[in-house]
Amino acid sequence: MEAFFNRYRHLSLLVVVVFAQLILLAWQIKTNQEARGVRVWAVTAVTPLARFIEEVRYKTAHFFSDYVVLSGVQQQNLQIKRDLDRLKLENQNLRNEVQMADRVRALASFVKESQFKYLGARIINNAPGTNSKVVYIDRGSTTGVMRGMSVLTPDGIVGKVVSSYPTAAQVMLINDPTFSGAVISQKNRTRGVVKGQGHVKMILDYVQNEEQLEVGELVFTSGEDRIFPKGLAVGKVASVKDGVQFKEVVVVPSGFREGLEEVLVLIEGGHQPLPTATTPVTNQVTLLPEPTGDDAAGNKFEVAPDKMKTEADKVLERYKQIEQWNGGQMGTSGRIPNYNVLPAAPAPATATPPVISGAKPALAPVKP
């Protein structure tokens, strides 16, 4: 037996070692355990070395790239800059989209509340020319835009269609040097013609020096030019001063307040009344005393009481006097007074001029 094992010692050892491993394997499968003792030894022997190698590799790689070549940092920096530029553009585009959405919402609200028919359009480009204020919109004759139609925004008029093509239309803005339109002021109802100057501000021409016009007064279309219907906002009076023959008035248009991107073309419109001017409300009301005046001789004048009465009051008073004189009253004593017979005339009063409505009352001289 011993000779057998000596002769085949290698094979015997092989069988023993393989058999031992088979037993180990079978035990692990049967008991579902993983022979942790052996694994701990193997992992403890291998992992520190692996950790050390990884540390060396990491530091070497980063040292080389960060401090020697800087290729990674430079590329990273360039990439970050590109991403930043792209994000800035995206942010700006999104802001523009939000602003456009707000404008479109305002347009839609204006159209919805208005009784007229509008067509939304977008300005696509400007016409060439140094001082020309002519733009193109993306609506043309195929969508109903015709020459002469008004172009406006919810804030006011911005121009008129001067040419219409199948897919686009040319619009002259109100600040174009060749533009003019008939307007009327809101408070004083002063009429004039507004003209473009090639820049933001416009002038209001043909306003007599004697006419009333205030700074801050709103100006609307009057409808007299047969282009813009009456009642559309034009702008606000910025300055007023007397000129040689006409006032020199500057008007700031209101239609360009929010910038000019989307506009409305008035397809079917009509005249509408001007909105009423609202007066500022104050808490305290101050009443002036009754007016008095002096004539050239130094006599003081005061207003006669009966001159403050209307014609109807005078007629009623006369009827009462007739009734008192006749001793009867209509509908009470069965006796109808004769209203055609005037009672005895009272003491003559001094002659006074007739009172005209709206004018200042006449002053009766009173002897001191």
Partner 1 sequence: MDFADRYDSSRRSRISRFKPIVLVLAPLLAILFQLYVPRFATFFEMLNLPLLVVVYFSLMRRMPVLGILFGASVGLVQDSLSSQPLGVLGIVQTLVGYFAASMSLRVDGENPAVRLFVGFFFFLFHQFFYWLLVRALLGAVIPVELVDNLVMAVLNCAVGLPLFALFDRLKMK
* DSSP states of 225-275: TSSSPTT-EEEEEEEEE--SSB-EEEEEESTTTT-SSEEEEEEE----PPP
| Residue from the set 50, 73, 277, 336 that interacts with partner 1 by CB under 8 A | 50
| Residue from the set 5, 25, 99, 101 that interacts with partner 1 by CB under 8 A | 25
Q: Is 300 helix (H, G, I), strand (E, B) or coil?
A: strand
Stretch that binds partner 1, among 49-57, 62-70, 129-137, 270-278 (CB under 8 A): 49-57
- Interface with partner 1, residue 30, by CB under 8 A: no
- Report the residue number, 29 or 281, with the smaller CB distance to partner 1: 29
Tokens of 180: 């003019």
- Report the residue number, 42 or 87, with the smaller CB distance to partner 1: 42
- Report the residue number, 39 or 335, with the smaller CB distance to partner 1: 39
| Residue from the set 7, 35, 63, 215 that interacts with partner 1 by CB under 8 A | 35
CB of 125 to partner 1, least distance (A): 56
- Report the residue number, 21 or 310, with the smaller CB distance to partner 1: 21
Give 208's DSSP letter.
Answer: B
Q: Please list, residue by residue across 72-99, b when 16 or more beta carbons sit within 10 angstroms of its beta carbon and e when fewer do.
A: eeeeeeeeeeeeeeeeeeeeeeeeeeee
Q: Is 363 helix (H, G, I), strand (E, B) or coil?
A: coil
What is the distance between the alpha carbons of residues 133 and 125, in angstroms, rounded to a whole number?
11
Tokens of 294: 């002096």
Tokens of 165: 């093509």
- Interface with partner 1, residue 7, by CB under 8 A: no
Nearest to 364 by CA among 353, 3, 187: 353
Stretch that binds partner 1, among 30-38, 105-113, 142-150, 186-194 (CB under 8 A): 30-38
- Report the residue number, 41 or 64, with the smaller CB distance to partner 1: 41
Q: What is the sign of the dihedral through the CA atoms of 154, 160, 164 and 170?
A: negative
What is the distance between the alpha carbons of residues 149 and 227, in angstroms, rounded to a whole number?
7
| Residue from the set 21, 71, 77, 79 that interacts with partner 1 by CB under 8 A | 21
- Report the residue number, 37 or 280, with the smaller CB distance to partner 1: 37
- Interface with partner 1, residue 73, by CB under 8 A: no
- Interface with partner 1, residue 10, by CB under 8 A: yes
Stretch that binds partner 1, among 48-56, 139-147, 195-203, 269-277 (CB under 8 A): 48-56
Q: Please list, residue by residue across 185-216, b when 16 or more beta carbons sit within 10 angstroms of its beta carbon and e when fewer do.
A: bbbeebbbbbbbeeeeebbbebbeeeeebeee
- Interface with partner 1, residue 59, by CB under 8 A: no
- Interface with partner 1, residue 60, by CB under 8 A: no
Q: Residue 83: phi, psi to the nearest 5?
A: -65, -40
Adjacency order of strands within the sheet including 293-294: 293-294, 300-302, 364-366
- Report the residue number, 18 or 73, with the smaller CB distance to partner 1: 18
Q: Is 220 helix (H, G, I), strand (E, B) or coil?
A: strand
- Report the residue number, 38 or 124, with the smaller CB distance to partner 1: 38
- Interface with partner 1, residue 56, by CB under 8 A: no
- Interface with partner 1, residue 13, by CB under 8 A: yes
- Interface with partner 1, residue 34, by CB under 8 A: yes
| Residue from the set 5, 54, 300, 318 that interacts with partner 1 by CB under 8 A | 54
Contact set with partner 1 (CB under 8 A): 9-10, 13-14, 17-18, 21-22, 24-25, 28-29, 34-35, 38-39, 41-43, 45-46, 49-50, 53-54
